A and B are shown apart, each in its own frame.
Chain A
Amino acid sequence: MKFDLNNDKLYRMEHYNMNLTVKVWRQKNSKDKGGFVSYPVNNISSEMSFLEMIDVLNEKLIVEGGEPIAFDHDCREGICGNCSLYINGKPHGPWKANTTCQLHMRAFKDGDTIVVEPWRAGAFPVIKDLMVDRSAFDRIIQAGGYISVNTGNAVDGNSLPINKDLADASFAAAMCIGCGACVAACKNSSAMLFLSAKVSHLALLPQGEPERKSRVMNMVAQMDKEGFGACTNTGACEATCPKEISITNIARLNKEYLFAGLTSDK
Chain B
Amino acid sequence: MTWKQVFTSSVGKKLVMGFTGIFLILFLVIHVSLNACIWANDGGKMFNAGAHFMGANVVPRILEIGLFAGLILHIIQGLMLELSNRSKRGIAYASDYGNRGSKWYSRSMGILGTLILLFLILHMSDFWFPNRAHQNFVLGEEIDLYAKMKETFSVLWVVIVYVLGCLSLGYHLAHGFQSAFRTLGVHNKRYNQMLTSIGYGFSVIITLAFAMMPLSFYLGWLN
Contacts and interface: CB of A to CB of B under 8 A. Distances in A.
Interface of A: 2-3, 23, 36, 86, 88-91, 115, 117, 120-123, 185, 187-190, 217, 220-221, 223-224, 227-240, 247-262, 264, 266
Contacts of B95: 86, 88-89, 115, 117
Contacts of A2: 100
Interface residues of B, number: 45
B108 to A, nearest CB: 10
B89 A230 contact: no
A236 B93 CA distance: 15
B94 interface: yes
Nearest to A124: B90
Interface in B86-144: 86-98, 100-103, 106-107, 109
A239 B102 contact: yes
A229 B85 contact: yes
Given A234-B107, A235-B102, A185 B88 contact: no
A217 B88 contact: no
Given A224-B9, A232-B179, A255-B185, A3 B88 contact: no
Contact of B187 (A190, A252, A262): A252
B172 interface: no
Residue in B11, B91, B98 with the greatest tally of chain A CB atoms within 10 Å? B11
B71 interface: no
Contacts of B90: 120-122
Contact of A261 (B12, B87, B106): B12
Contacts of A232: 14, 81, 85, 106-107, 109, 179
